[in-house]
């Protein structure tokens, strides 16, 4: 059987980020994709700072293991509690 590939010079590949970290980061981004899409849609209607805070909080909750709907519900309940959510919207 003829050789299909010539023998290539072996090079050492040094991985900066372990594959497992890349996979988990990619999977997290896939999970929070609906949150990002919702945030982009909400930018036309609401204050950008408010939208960014909501996206951040929902993404955090999803990273902690909550599903999208539960994370939305939790953040909306925090939003109704003005004492909890309003300090995040204060101007620096």
Domain boundaries, the chain: 33-89
Best CA proximity match to 74, nearest among 83, 62, 87? 62
What are the pLDDT digits (tens) for 41-76?
999 998 888 899 899 999 999 888 899 999 999 999
What distances in angstroms separate CA 66 from CA 3, 55, 90, one per listed residue? Answer: 52, 14, 27
Token pair of 61 as six digits: 């909750």
Question: Under DSSP, is residue 50 helix (H, G, I), strand (E, B) or coil?
Answer: helix
Q: E-assigned strands of 1-92?
A: none
- pTM, entire model: 0.66
């Amino acid at each position: 059987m003829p050789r299909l590939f010539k023998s290539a010079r072996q090079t050492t590949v040094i991985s900066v980020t372990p594959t497992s970290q890349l996979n988990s980061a990619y999977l997290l981004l896939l999970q929070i994709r609906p949150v990002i899409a919702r945030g982009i849609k909400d930018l036309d209607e609401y204050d950008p700072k408010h939208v960014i805070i909501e996206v951040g909080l929902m993404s955090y909750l999803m990273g902690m293991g909550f599903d999208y709907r539960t994370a939305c519900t939790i953040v909306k309940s925090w939003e109704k509690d003005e004492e909890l959510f309003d300090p995040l919207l204060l101007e620096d």
